[in-house]
Amino acid sequence: MSQKFWTSDNHFFHKLTINPVLMGDRCRPFFSVIEMNETLIENWNSVVMPDDEVYHLGDVSLGKVTLTKEILDRLNGKIYLIKGNHEHSALDKKCIDRFEWVKDYFKLDLMIDGVDTRICMFHYPIAVWDKAHHNAWCLHGHSHGSYTSGVGKILDVGVDGPISNYTPLSLEQITEYMKTRNFVGKDHHLPETERLIKG
């Protein structure tokens, strides 16, 4: 039976991500982009099987088109791409067919632990999302683990996000993380329990 995974911000071939002078404590722990690329590919394929679905929330590669295509061809699974701000190569005609579809935003409704759950996917983190007050999730990338001010059931699924360890996240992993998150109303919406009390 196929599984679903989420990831973001691989930044294949991006030298900046491993530059300790520029990145400081957010520097990725690799000596070269080749080591980084190979580790990310190995980690991906260690959990994603050929029939699995991967929702990639943007910033696939900063490498040339031909090099990016070689990487994409080595990755397991059916890949759905939510566009990030670094997609020049991924959206090229030589690479774009590797994706099942490409969108700016996507909502997925799943039954999780017996509860209908909406999953809103963007590249960027946002403060308020559809059905957040009904325990909907917001999955995003872009922040490389640095965005920690979000409230509610929100998670940076990027490879260097808070729980990813440079590996795509399974539905089970994200579900367990979301159990630690509570919704706090930021606008006219209230948490479902408070809304029911106030009527």
Q: Which two tokens stand for residue 12?
A: 């294949």
Residue with tokens 């965005």: 147
pLDDT digits (tens, 9 = 90+) for 116-164: 999 999 999 998 899 988 889 999 999 888 887 677 899 999 999 999 9
* pLDDT greater than 50 at residue 56: yes
CATH of domain 4-198: 3.60.21.10
Query: Domain coordinates of the chain in residue numbers?
Result: 4-198
pLDDT digits (tens, 9 = 90+) for 94-112: 999 999 999 999 999 999 9
What count of Cα atoms within 13 Å lies in the side-chain half-sphere of residue 109?
Answer: 5
Alpha-carbon span 173 to 98, nearest angstrom? 26
What count of Cα atoms within 13 Å lies in the side-chain half-sphere of residue 134?
Answer: 9
Q: Which two tokens stand for residue 138?
A: 């917001």
Query: How confident is residue 186, by pLDDT bands cut at 50, 70 and 90?
Result: low
What is the average pLDDT score of the chain?
91
SS3 of 92-156: the string is CCCCHHHEEEEECCEEEEEEECCEEEEEEECCCCCCCCCCHHHCCEEEECCCCCCCCCCCCCEEE
Instruction: List the helix and strand counts (H, then E) for the chain.
Output: 5, 9
